[in-house]
Amino acid sequence: MNSKKITHILLAAALAASLLAAASCSRANERIVEDSRFFMGTVVQIKVSIDPAKYSEARAKDAISKAFDEINRIEDVYSVYKDTSEISRINRLRKNERLQISDGVFNLVHKTLDYSERTSGAFDITVKPLVDLWERAKRTNKLPDEHEFKRALERVGYKNVALDETVRTIHFKKDGISIDLGGAAKGYATDRAIFILEENGIDNAIVNSGGDMYCLGKRTARELWKVGVQHPRDRNRLFLEIGLQDRAIDTSGDYERYFVIGGKRYSHIIDPRTGYPIGDSAVSASVIAADSTTADILATAMCVLGEKGFGIIKESGGIDAVLVMFEAGRLTAKMSEGIRKRYDISEEKL
Ligand code: FAD
Ligand code: MG
């Protein structure tokens, strides 16, 4: 080898080493601090990315702990599993009896009613009697009889919920109405956790409430947060990976909470218009939006509406969706227009 060639190789090696050093130097500044807790029947994971020179690990842990406190508070207020929650108090109201409610509950109920209008009732928080009916079917391994089914369906209808903006009260226009924010409150809890982290000086974080996520800022100076979406029929595989910044992504589907009676699979998502768990309209839906509450609501709505839901996604502006459904007996993924241009997506075969 001549000396000129050797110089070139050495120069190239030096350049590569200096690039590597620069890369590891900027990467070494960031550290991920994370913790997980069990809330709302699921695991909530929070990761924050900090530069320890500017923000200590102890402060990061304290910020995460405050975010968990907020989720804990939300569970106490919004849970239908707790008799003492504000939602359970609302559910004990009789026809036309008014209850003054907190701003948080008022605003979330208001938002869900708005989406009930926009989705023509595919998303409906008054679906609770049907949720309870199908929960009982799951427990007893017996399908509901026609009489029970009719009775539950009669007690569903978002138009029976009324809010009074001036005095911040809620009332039901009919006896037997009840609400369940299970399709929206995990997303809301994610948004609130992000709010608390930001309030505590965190600029880069990811909150994952059992599939309802928000990516704040970036993972490192040059890396986005990468979010994986589970294959809907194989929990050990991801079928999508998306790089996100300041965006929420929420996934709903028939694969985490479902039950089987007589060989037929039933989802925990109900079509409030028919009273039945969703069928072939969707296996799963992931929605990307500017906030996790909206993404949570629309992911549930997309599961009910199937492909028709893309119309609402388009109308909403700035929102994207990935729908997985069966087509001619095969799992197929459909995506909103332009999603690949807006996001860095890697996709596995379904
Ligand atoms: P999503 O699709 O986001 O929501 C589905 C849920 O929304 C259903 O479970 C039902 O409640 C409701 N729903 C169904 N169909 C519709 C529809 N068409 N329109 C509107 N809503 C619909 N689980 C436990 O096992 N134990 C607990 O103690 C518990 N506590 C919780 C407390 C809170 C505050 C919340 C938000 C959830 C809690 N959960 C708990 C989980 C809850 O029961 C739901 O299963 C969960 O929210 C479903 O979320 P998802 O993302 O899987 O599905
Ligand atoms: Mg939802």
177 and 187 part of one domain:
no
User: pLDDT tens digit string along 257-294?
Assistant: 788 888 888 899 999 999 999 987 799 999 999 999 99
Count each helix (H run) and each strand (E run) in the chain, helices first: 10, 16
**pTM as predicted:** 0.91
Higher-pLDDT residue of 136 and 4 is: 136
45 in Cβ contact with 34 (< 8 Å): yes
Question: What pLDDT, on a 0 to 100 scale, did the predictor assign at position 70?
Answer: 98
Domain shared by 75 and 135, yes or no: no
Q: What's the gap between Cα 118 and its chain centre?
A: 19
Q: In this structure, are 195 and 272 located in the same domain?
A: yes
Inter-axis angle of helices 185-199 and 292-305, to 10 degrees?
160
Probe ligand 1: pick from 81, 120, 161, max atoms within 8 Å of CB?
81
Within-domain flag for 7: no
Same domain (yes/no): 192, 64: yes
Task: For 138-150, write each residue's pLDDT tens digit.
Answer: 999 999 999 999 9
pLDDT of residue 28: 58
Whether 201 and 176 share a structural domain: no
Residue 282 CA, ligand 2 centroid: distance in Å = 14
Gap from CA of 24 to ligand 2 centroid (Å): 39
Question: Looking at residues 50-56, what average pLDDT do you find?
Answer: 95
Count of structural domains within the chain: 2
Same domain, 134 and 278: no
Same domain, 231 and 90: no
Q: Which residues contact 248 (CB under 8 A, 6 or more apart)?
A: 187, 190, 191, 212, 213, 214, 215, 288, 289, 290, 291, 292, 294, 295
| pLDDT tens per residue, range 304-330 | 999 999 999 999 999 999 999 999 889
Could you tell me the residue range of the domain that residue 248 belongs to?
20-79+183-347
CA distance 206 to 247: 10
Residues 55 and 92 in one domain: no
What is d(CA 238, CA 305) in angstroms, rounded to the nearest whole number? Answer: 24
CA distance 161 to 9: 75
Contact by Cβ (8 Å): 130, 82: no
Ligand 1 binding residues, C-beta < 6 A: 40-41, 75, 78-79, 81, 123-125, 127, 131, 180, 182-183, 185-186, 211-212, 252, 256-257, 268-270, 272, 296, 300, 304
Give the CATH number of the domain where residue 154 resides: 1.10.3980.10
